[in-house]
Amino acid sequence: MSLITIDYNDLLLTSVDDPSSNSKLSSQLASAFGPDSLGIICISNIPDFSRYKQEFLQLAHELVNLPEEYREEKLTDVNSFYNAGWSFGKEKLGDKPDFAKASFYFNPITDVPGTPELRETYPASYPCNKWPTELLPQLEPKGKQLGLLMKEVVAKLARHVDIYIQSKCPSYQAILASKMRDTEKVKGRLLYYYPHSSSSSSAMTDSWIGWHNDSGFFTALAGDAYIDHTNGQIVDPSMVDPNAGLYVMNRNGDVTKVCIPEDVMAVQIGECLQIISGGCIVATPHCVKGADPTFGSGTIARVSFPCFVDMVPEFPLRVPDGCTKDQVLDCSVKGCAKVPPLGERWDDGKTFGDFLADTFKKYYEWSKP
């Protein structure tokens, strides 16, 4: 199964501008997001994207090499459950801390999102940014530059997703375009995957990040970059284990290695979109396999940047009129035992914030040995 790629310029068109182009785009969305799809789409020819991506991702190596004391004291945010700033060894795989990767979280739209009341009620959804201004001042402008662009592309895509869902489910209320345009619930996550120390530690398909569904609405992906962990230099593709990278499972249980081209942005579907579309759009399990250290130099690290664009935490997750909960659940991919069943985490009308909290808890319990 191959990736579907659309042109950014087609996102700027409307059915009034070019009905035939809109029809083609709807067909492409069906292939990318429909019941038998990979749940991911690529967007090419986004102005400035390649440059912004390169300028930001290359800073990851400098970030992970900042003094440990500085990162822990100045860049961590316990109150947000480490959803702002630096996070390393705070997440858990089963009952063990995850030391395979480090994360730097930030909101590219605003440093102080929401209201004081919302920040107190939803500390993980509306944390204030923490930037390494003193030691790595370029991280903030470069991160905001790329994250804002990716969020704006998602908002343009959302308008066409609205049209597609309505074509399949006439009772669906088209809300994505306006909500994604105006949302402050945006979280960028700069990820640094450390080299594996042995072949055994990289053997599993999900050795860098475990099998999971994205739980939100849209996840914009800037692709990845492989670097030499010893010096931060981008490595030639021939030096990278060809089996390393992103894997996606479709509804048939087939697993596909997905290679996002360097100059395109990808968008993955989250479970919340599956819910509010009545199952017209399906979230798919995915994971990241680590590089085998016996291939090449043995010091290969991976850098990536997903940007999560979501509704506010108070948003109720309801199926469209005439649809049922069972329809949504029946569309879920059932071939991945590591993804907790959606029906155990969501009831019709549950808020997005409560759904996220229950999902995080369930994943932790589900992954325990």
Maximum Cα–Cα distance for the chain, whole Å? 58
The tokens 């790329």 sit on which residue? 146
What does the pLDDT look like over 102-112, one tens digit per residue?
A: 999 999 999 99
Tokens found for residue 321: 């009129």
| Spatial CA neighbour of 279 closest among 234, 331, 244 | 331
| Spatial CA neighbour of 278 closest among 316, 218, 330 | 330
Split into its structural domains, the chain has a count of: 1
Residue 3 has pLDDT above 80, yes or no: yes
What's the pLDDT band for 1 if we cut at 50, 70, 90?
Answer: low
Domain residues for the domain of 85 are 4-366
Q: What is the arithmetic mean of pLDDT over 284-309?
A: 93
Tokens found for residue 51: 């440059």
| Spatial CA neighbour of 278 closest among 333, 346, 325, 338 | 325
| CA 122, 128, 305, 278 torsion-angle sign | positive
Burial bucket for residue 120 (CB in 10 Å: 0-12, 13-18, 19+): exposed
2-16, 184-198, 262-276: lowest mean pLDDT where?
A: 2-16
Q: Is the Cβ–Cβ distance between 196 and 290 less than 8 Å?
A: yes
CA distance 230 to 226: 12
Q: What is the arithmetic mean of pLDDT over 18-43?
A: 82
CA distance 187 to 147: 8
Alpha helices of 80-198 — where are they, by DSSP H?
116-121, 139-168, 176-182
In angstroms, what CA-CA distances link 222 with 57, 253, 302? 9, 26, 13
pLDDT of residue 192: 97
CA distance 178 to 130: 28
Alpha carbon of residue 364 to chain centroid = 19
Q: Say what the pTM is.
A: 0.93
Residue 364 has pLDDT above 70, yes or no: no
pLDDT of residue 16: 46
- Secondary structure of residue 78 in the 3-state scheme: helix
CA angle, residues 114, 115, 117, in degrees to nearest 5: 125
In this structure, the number of other CB atoms found within 10 A of the CB of residue 26 comes to 16
Q: Is the Cβ–Cβ distance between 60 and 190 less than 8 Å?
A: yes
- Secondary structure of residue 232 in the 3-state scheme: coil
As a whole number of Å, the end-to-end CA separation of the chain is: 33
Tokens found for residue 214: 């994205």
Q: Which residues pair with 248 in a beta bridge?
A: 256, 286
Taking 3-state DSSP, the helix, strand and coil percentages for the chain, each rounded to the nearest 5, stand at: 35, 20, 45
Q: What is the arithmetic mean of pLDDT over 170-192?
A: 96
Q: How many CA atoms lie within 13 A of 247 on its CB side?
A: 22
Q: Is the Cβ–Cβ distance between 150 and 222 less than 8 Å?
A: yes
One-letter amino acid of 222:
A
pLDDT of residue 358: 87
CATH number of 13's domain: 2.60.120.330
Q: Is the Cβ–Cβ distance between 217 and 165 less than 8 Å?
A: no
Give the chain's radius of gyration (CA, Å): 20
Running DSSP on this structure, what letter comes out for residue 280?
S
Query: Pairing mode, if any, of strands 101-106 and 186-193?
Result: antiparallel
8-12, 276-280, 335-339: lowest mean pLDDT where?
A: 335-339
What's the pLDDT band for 73 if we cut at 50, 70, 90?
Answer: very high
